[in-house]
């Protein structure tokens, strides 16, 4: 007997976690199963849930303004990573992809770092978007997803800039991916993709 556990989490957190697990050869489902097994085996959460998260902004202790030391301004400001994906980020991902696709210099990890530095988009999200684009143009199925409006935007760019063969591959990629996306954790994404394909007569 098995139990289905369904819960909602932020889209970007899910995508970034999928990117990490994918790099380890795991699916999110398997990673959660391993977490639960370890919890049961140890009788506790298998890490300190109150330890600071690396890269997160710690909560500073309250300071007395009269005695608090003045902090010098940093010499160089870097763009802070954000989980909210903006059109600027979506467009920058496309530029990075279209310029490097089909060349020996196409490296999704390196390009994701560049996009993150330029726009503040999280590296995990940028990497996932780049991999999805690469699979679309190659006609390969995807096991990750993105915002539907971003997918439609990219499909338009593929058709306009890369031509019918690549657009046909992208449509085939979507058809192959629908079965995988037709799961509770993806919400109505599979349904939306099917609707999109029908709307363009594919």
pLDDT for position 76: 45
Report yes or no on 73 lying in a domain: no
pLDDT in tens, 29-83: 888 888 888 888 777 787 777 666 655 555 445 545 555 455 555 444 455 566 6
- Position 6 in a domain: no
Same-domain check for residues 113 and 184: yes
Which range marks the domain in which residue 125 is found? 87-199
Gap between the Cα atoms of 152 and 154, Å rounded: 5
Specify the pLDDT at position 92: 96
Q: How far apart are CA 31 and CA 42, in angstroms?
A: 16
Q: Is 28 part of a structural domain of the chain? A: yes
- Spatial neighbors of 182 by CB under 8 A, at least 6 apart, are 190, 191
Query: Considering Cα of 169, then 171, then 173, then 175, what sign does the dihedral take?
Result: negative
What does the pLDDT look like over 127-137, one tens digit per residue? 999 999 999 99
49 domain residue, yes or no: no
Domain membership of residue 71 (yes or no) is no
Q: Are 166 and 96 members of one domain? A: yes
This prediction's pTM: 0.64
pLDDT at 6 over 90: no
Task: Say if 52 falls within a structural domain.
Answer: no
Q: How many domains does the chain fold into?
A: 2
Which stretches of the chain are assigned E, i.e. beta strand?
none
23, part of any domain: yes
The verdict on 123 and 182 lying in the same domain is: yes
């Amino acid at each position: 007997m098995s139990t289905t556990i369904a819960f909602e989490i932020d889209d970007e957190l899910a995508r970034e976690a999928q990117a990490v697990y994918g790099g380890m050869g795991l699916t999110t489902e398997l990673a959660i199963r391993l977490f639960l097994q370890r919890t049961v085996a140890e009788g506790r959460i298998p890490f300190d849930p109150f330890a600071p998260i690396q890269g997160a902004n710690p909560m500073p202790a309250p300071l007395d303004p009269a005695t608090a030391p003045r902090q010098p301004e940093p010499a160089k400001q870097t763009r802070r990573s954000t989980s909210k994906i903006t059109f600027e980020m979506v467009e920058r991902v496309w530029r990075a992809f279209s310029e490097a696709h089909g060349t020996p210099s196409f490296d999704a990890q390196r390009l994701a770092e560049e996009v993150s530095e330029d726009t503040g988009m999280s590296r995990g999200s940028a990497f996932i978007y780049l991999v999805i684009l690469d699979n679309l143009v190659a006609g390969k199925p995807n096991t990750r997803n993105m915002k539907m409006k971003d997918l439609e935007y990219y499909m338009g760019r593929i058709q306009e800039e890369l031509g019918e063969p690549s657009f046909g591959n992208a449509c085939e990629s979507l058809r192959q991916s629908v079965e995988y996306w037709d799961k509770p954790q993806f919400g109505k994404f599979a349904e939306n993709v099917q609707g999109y394909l029908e709307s363009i007569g594919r």
